[in-house]
Amino acid sequence: MRTFKILAVALTLSFVAQATPLFEGEEIYLDVRMEVVKNKKNAAYYCLLEEETERGFLFKAYFISGELKMEGYYSDREMMIAHGEFKYYYRSGKLESIGEFREGGKYGIWQRFDEDGTEKPEKIYASQPMLKALAKEKADRKGK
């Protein structure tokens, strides 16, 4: 569970750090920490811009051996803002998790699965404005 969270955050952060324009079919290499590296020799994953649609820019990350690791939409070509549906996969090809990003953060209910395909407890994520509103409400209650 913790490993998945770290991997998901690392993958997202590594994409955020990549600020060079990408073109369809151009590979971006990532190391085991999902940080951008300059060549395939030092990489554990690679990422491609698959297509541009009305939903945004669809990126897919693959294990170096070719199996799909992640697919998800960004609102920009530079992968700065994850926005839309994301799916993460185990090397076996089985679904690890599926959920939504809004304005760069996880949002709503994320379904999660173990490597055998058994459903794990869902994770619920709120948007940053919602979290701030809840924190303010809690603080207001304490002040009364």
What is the rounded CA–CA span in Å between residue 84 and residue 74? 7
How far separated are the first and last CA of the chain, in Å rounded?
38
Q: What is the pLDDT of residues 63-84, one digit of tens each?
A: 999 999 999 998 988 777 889 9
CB 16 within 8 A of CB 80: yes
Q: Which amino acid is at 22?
A: L
Let me know how long the chain is: 144
Q: What is the pLDDT of residues 133-143, one digit of tens each?
A: 777 887 888 87
**The most confident of 1-10, 18-27, 37-46, 50-59, by mean pLDDT:** 50-59
Q: What is the pLDDT of residues 88-129, one digit of tens each?
A: 999 999 999 999 999 888 999 999 999 999 999 999 998 666
This prediction's pTM = 0.69
CB 66 within 8 A of CB 45: no
Classify the C-alpha dihedral 31-34-38-43 as positive or negative. positive
What is the rounded CA–CA span in Å between residue 21 and residue 78? 5
What is the rounded CA–CA span in Å between residue 30 and residue 46? 6
